Amino acid sequence: MPYEKLNISTPAPVLSWANHALGAEETKMAKNVASLPFVFKHVALMPDVHLGKGALVGSVIATKNAIIPAAVGVDVGCGMCAIKTPFKAAQLEGKLKKIRLDIEAAIPTGFNENKQVEKTVTNWQNWRDFKELHPGVQDLQGKAMKQMGSLGSGNHFIEVCLDTEDAVWLMLHSGSRNIGNMLAQCHINTAKELAKMASNRLPDPDLAYFIAGTPEFRAYWHDLQWAQNYARSNRDVMMERFVRIIEKHLAGGKKTKPLISVNCHHNYAEKEVHFGEEVYVTRKGAVRAQKEDYGIIPGSMGAKSYIIKGKGCAESYCSCSHGSGRLMSRARAKNVYTLDDLIEQTKGVECRKDTGIIDEIPAAYKPIEEVMNNQSDLVEVEATLKQVVCVKG
């Protein structure tokens, strides 16, 4: 679907790939961002766009000489990792529950962390830069080390999936855990304090920003890149354990090689060139989709997910959606749906079936097929997956 230019009066236009009209709050949020003087060219909204903090989740914001920490968000580097294995669906027969229990035993979820720090984590090169991070996190290195290789909570998940040719895929969704959250909060607070001191009139306090060239910008950019690297490594550590579990059940412990491997962020910022100019691109709930880029667009637990290749659409800043997007808040989902609804909507999926995950029920999310139809100009589908095991955070 080609984008639509929103009918709002802002210095920078807002282009939307969503197939629904934005609500009043969503429109206000888009308008607030597009009114900032350093926003480059236009703001792009992905098909799964919905309310966030400061900026809409599912927005791509290119800026010149400034960056908004709260637009990146607190789950810095949150993203997806997936591999295609050499295994086939028939090999999973009768093993799904044991696989799920092994995953839950090997990879901490929720607020839990690893009891021991494994060698791969200890050897991570970026620990040597920890002392250069924000002073507010200097007592958190031990916790950060124990949390590398843990899933977290909310919509984070680990799944065993099958594609349309019955190949087994392994997929997971996680970010930079507590250390990324704390780093983001430290810098967001600094940005807000600077805005107050400068008497900056912002349309929303959560749009407080840093200007390139200042010490505060440099400190944030340094910590942001560190947290994004932590998030990617966190996914790698979990995926390594996940692969070992699958090999134990399907190959008698024999090592295998992945046929395809993808690891991509969808809450992050990078310096990129667009329309011939170097800009800072913030993807808040969006995946980079440059030509030939592999990416992952998951549906809800019980829905399809997609491995995609980018088409390099300039107007979207070479981006696409990061999922299906929520239709309703977590609180509302808990009030509207019952445990029976969850059991019905996750039929055929080996997963927890309890009230603790009702907020993640498939009906709380937009239909992933609609989201994919709306971005046919942004991506092409390489593989369509359906989960058979799902472990929630």
> What are the residue numbers of the active site?
322
**Sign of the dihedral through C-alpha 144, 148, 153, 156:** positive
Locate 343 and state its tokens. 């059991």
DSSP 8-state class, residue 9: -
HEC profile of 113-159: CCCCCCHHHHCCHHHHHHHHCCHHHCCCHHHHHHHCCCCCCCCCEEE
Max CA-CA distance within the chain?
A: 65
Distance, in Å, from the CA atom of 30 to the CA atom of 16, rounded to the nearest integer, reads 10
Distance, in Å, from the CA atom of 249 to the CA atom of 91, rounded to the nearest integer, reads 9
DSSP notation for 78-94: -EEEEEEEEEEGGGGTT
Locate 147 and state its tokens. 């949390």
